[in-house]
Amino acid sequence: MGNARKGWLVAGAGFTGATAARRLAEATGEPVLVIDKRDHIGGNAFDAPNADGVSVHRYGPHIFHTNSDAVFGFLSRFTAWRPYEHRVQAEIDGRLVPLPFGFAAIEALFPAAQAARLIARLTERYGAEARVPILKLRQSEDGDLKALAAFIYDKVFAGYTLKQWGMPAEALSPSVTARVPVIVSRDERYFADRHQAMPAEGYAALFARMLDHPLIEVALSTPLESLPPELRARRTVYTGPLDAYFGHDEGHLPYRSMAFAEETRPAFGVQPCGTINFPDDRPATRTTEQGWLTGETAGRSVLVTEYPQAHVPGVNEPFYPVPGEAGDALARRYRARAEALNGRVWFAGRLADYQYYNMDQAAARALTLVAKEILPQAG
């Protein structure tokens, strides 16, 4: 791992860690050691060929989208892009309808006259192109819209949310249900961001280029606790689970985990779009056909189905912080301790901040951290 001279330690080689490492190397001219307990870079965005030679997103679908020109510009230094606008359909009452739930879904599931009335009411109440959180729509005083909200909640949100998070939508932070709103639009894209694309050669190649710098050294299969004291004493950007850094001594923060099942088919085009959601009572939440994401549409096709599960420390990986009162209260206690280490250890990322970040938000968090917090103190 090289020598232990003055430098930086970055724990975690996902979007937050890799972005921070690159900016620290470029901005400080000092060596940066990046470690990860896994045997690969890229965190949960990692992709690689499976046993059949088909590229697969190993930890579920990662679709890049952002409205940040700064983030898109930074990442564009390390990859060319393949334009891609993700589409998702949900299986509702035996029919596939596009998500987010909008005009097309209404017209598919309601009689024509009723659908037209509901679309007119939505447009009048919220305005064209609005994106309305389902919990807000459920509070509508309009009888038709209230009934529509109840239908959408029951058919789209209730079962899926319970499977995904292990608790009903009402028990979660509103930021979670706001992520998949009801849209007052015919736009069938899952995201509406200005930049929507996939790395032309995949995420693993993007990360490899980002970490390819003469001042950056990468050590994989290397947990933080395995490092000798002189390396742990380096100024550190920590992106792992917030509670794990402190040995869980105040309790375990709640996370959700995932299990994945792969199925290989003889040809591409098994699904009409990238992802099919299952808001019913089957245990799986969604299946993604990888070729839509990777652009590999010749030859065999791989379907990856996701099964949410409780996170059990030491048994499976923490994927998603669970935003709710109990977790937030415990996270505040850990954050207070983290802030006391500021200037020597900086905590950032989905797990370390205990915040639900998209990929662009994770990269933005690192860019801002280095520019506005670390460099002023380091200087």
**Residue segments in the chain with a per-residue pLDDT below the cut of 70:** 1-5, 177-178, 379
pLDDT for residue 174: 72
pLDDT at 379: 63
Task: Give me the pLDDT at residue 177, please.
Answer: 66
* The pLDDT of residue 2: 47
pLDDT at position 3? 45
Residue 301 β-bridge partners: 265
The span from the CA of 23 to the CA of 378, in Å, is 13
User: Which ranges of the chain does DSSP label H, i.e. alpha helix?
Assistant: 15-28, 69-76, 103-109, 112-126, 134-137, 143-152, 159-165, 174-177, 203-210, 229-232, 242-245, 290-294, 325-340, 359-368, 375-378
Distances (CA, A) of 179 to 38, 173, 174, 258, 286: 29, 11, 9, 19, 16
Sign of the Cα torsion 3, 4, 5, 10 reads: positive
Q: Using CA atoms of 362, 367, 371, 374 in order, give the dihedral in degrees to the nearest 10.
A: 50
CATH class given for the domain over 8-41+211-254+321-378: alpha beta
Q: Which of 122, 96, 121 is nearest to 109 (CA)?
A: 96
Order across the sheet with 216-219: list the strands: 216-219, 32-35, 8-11, 235-238, 345-347
- Tell me the domain boundaries of the chain: 8-41+211-254+321-378, 49-87+193-200+255-310, 99-183
Strand pairing class (55-57; 8-11):
unpaired
Distance of CA 46 to the CA centre of its chain: 12
Q: Write the CB contacts of 273 (distance below 8 Å, at least 6 apart in sequence).
A: 87, 88, 89, 98, 292
pLDDT of residue 4: 47
Q: Give the pTM.
A: 0.93
